[in-house]
């Protein structure tokens, strides 16, 4: 029996996107499985898994779609990766006002140029940036044109919660870092949930445990 199609997975925190693919290969017995966009290990939420050759070849279609996130920023500390998994690089005890936070979010709207973080899979002259970053090397990164719709959800120092709808190639970690620099208090991303990818929604996804249970039911019928 051939198993092909699209699976919407609610990725848990603490595992890589590669781990999700490997787990689904074990669950389904299908070797040809890909995904349409990674999530960092600390991040959670929607991943589109493409099962079978007829679907993995369509990955570019899915990766090019707009995405939406709920994110939480931690003010007062900057890290080298711009997120909670990085090493602390700067610290501040300055507490921005709500008006300052709102103004910095307004700057994260519309068409704008965003510089990719060093800790990213983007390639410069054939080398992935995170490989250079781990060697302590920092190189110039050309900014990328992105489209952002950023909304303030709540602010209780040191946490700022935002909703972001964005185009392909956007780094939410860079939004956190840029806001921290604008507010002169530093910041990093400490929670991230992907809620939408194109027309696919997190609410329609399943945990790996649910998919494993469902697959066992399919095999028994």
d(CA 37, CA 55): 14
Catalytic site residue 199?
A: no
Axis-axis angle for helices 98-106, 172-182 (nearest 10): 130
Judge contact between 75 and 158, C-beta under 8 A: yes
Active-site residue identified among 19, 40, 80, 190: 40
**Looking at the annotation, which residues are catalytic?**
40
């Amino acid at each position: 029996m051939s198993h092909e199609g699209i699976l919407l997975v609610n990725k848990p925190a603490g595992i890589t996107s590669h781990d999700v693919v490997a787990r689904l290969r074990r669950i389904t017995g299908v070797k040809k499985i890909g995904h349409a966009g990674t999530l960092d290990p600390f991040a959670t939420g929607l991943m589109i898994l493409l099962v079978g050759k007829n679907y993995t070849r369509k990955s570019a279609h899915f990766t090019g779609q707009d995405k939406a996130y709920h994110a939480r920023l931690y003010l007062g500390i900057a890290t080298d990766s711009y997120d909670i998994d990085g090493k602390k690089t700067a610290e501040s005890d300055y507490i921005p006002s709500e008006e300052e936070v709102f103004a910095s979010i307004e700057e994260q709207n519309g068409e704008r140029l965003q510089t990719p973080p060093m800790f990213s899979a983007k390639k410069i002259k054939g080398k992935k940036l995170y490989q250079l970053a781990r060697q302590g090397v920092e190189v110039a990164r050309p900014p990328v044109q992105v489209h952002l719709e950023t909304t303030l959800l709540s602010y209780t120092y040191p946490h700022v919660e935002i909703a972001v709808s964005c185009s392909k190639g956007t780094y939410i970690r860079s939004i956190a870092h840029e806001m921290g620099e604008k507010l002169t208090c530093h910041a990093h991303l400490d929670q991230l949930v992907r809620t939408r990818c194109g027309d696919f929604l997190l609410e329609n996804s399943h945990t790996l445990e649910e998919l494993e249970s469902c697959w066992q039911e399919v095999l028994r019928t």
